Amino acid sequence: MHRVDVAHALDRPLELSTDHDSRIVADVVAEWGRRHGKAFVLDLTGPAGGCCVSVPQDRGSEHLSFDAVEFCRTLAGRAPGTGLLATIVPF
């Protein structure tokens, strides 16, 4: 998140690596899923994105779609979140 914060503060583009940053995002998604404990389908866009499904057979899963960086900013408390996105993941 510090790299994201610095890029935002300096109004500079954020350079992301799919190999490196998508692994960090995957770890954040896993922790987020453990913390809220509800079924979800998550589509994350951008170089660090991907699709995550917590319980594939659950038709009641909440469907969310976000840019991967904005998703992480929200979970880190840097942007407001509602519903499942109100679950904070400190990282």
- Indicate whether this model's pTM tops 0.95: no
Dihedral sign for Cα atoms in the order 84, 73, 71, 28: negative
Print pLDDT tens along the chain (91 aa). 899 999 999 999 999 989 999 999 999 999 999 999 999 999 999 999 999 998 877 888 889 999 999 999 999 999 999 999 999 999 8
State the pLDDT at residue 47: 94
What CA–CA distance (Å, rounded) separates 26 from 38? 17
State the pLDDT at residue 45: 97
CA distances from 7 to 10, 30, 40 (A): 5, 25, 30
State the pLDDT at residue 55: 84
What CA–CA distance (Å, rounded) separates 43 from 12? 25
State the pLDDT at residue 39: 94
State the pLDDT at residue 59: 80
Domain ranges across the chain? 38-78
